[in-house]
Chains A and B, each alone.
Chain A
Amino acid sequence: MTEQPKADEAGVILGPFRIRRLFQKTLFGVFALFGFIGVATASLAVYTVDTQLTQEYVSNSRDIAKTIADSSVDILLNRDLAALQSLVDQFVEIQGIRYIYITDETGEFLAHTFVPGIPEEILASDTTDTATVERSLPGMGDFVEVGSPILAGFAGNVHVGMDTGLIALKIQRAIGQQIYLICAVFVVGVFAALWFVNLAARPIGELLTYAANLVQRGGDAPEARVLERQDEAGQLARLFRLVAGGRRD
Chain B
Amino acid sequence: MSEVTSAVARDVKKEFHVVGKSVPRRDGVGHVTGKTVYVDDISFPGMLHLKMVRSPIHHGIIRNVDFSAAEKVPGFVRVLTHRDVPKNIYTILCLIGVGPDEEPVLAVDRVLYKGEPIAAIVAETEEAAMEAVSRVRLDLEELPAVFDVEEALKPGAPILKPWGTNYFVYEGHHCRRVRFGDVEKGFAQADYIIEEVYNTSPIEHAPTETTACVAKPEPDGRYTVYTNTQALFFTMDNTALILQVPFSKLHFVGGTVGGGFGGKVDVIVEPIATLAAMKTGCPVKFKYTREEEMRVSSTRSAWRMYFKDGVMKDGRIIARKVISYADSGAYNRHTPYAVTKHAANVAGPYFIPNVYIDAYCVYTNRQPASAMRGFGVTPASFAVECQMDKIAETIGMDPWEIRFINAYRNGDMRPHQKVVEDATLIEVMKAAAELAGHQLPEHLLKMHSWDREKA
A, B bound: no
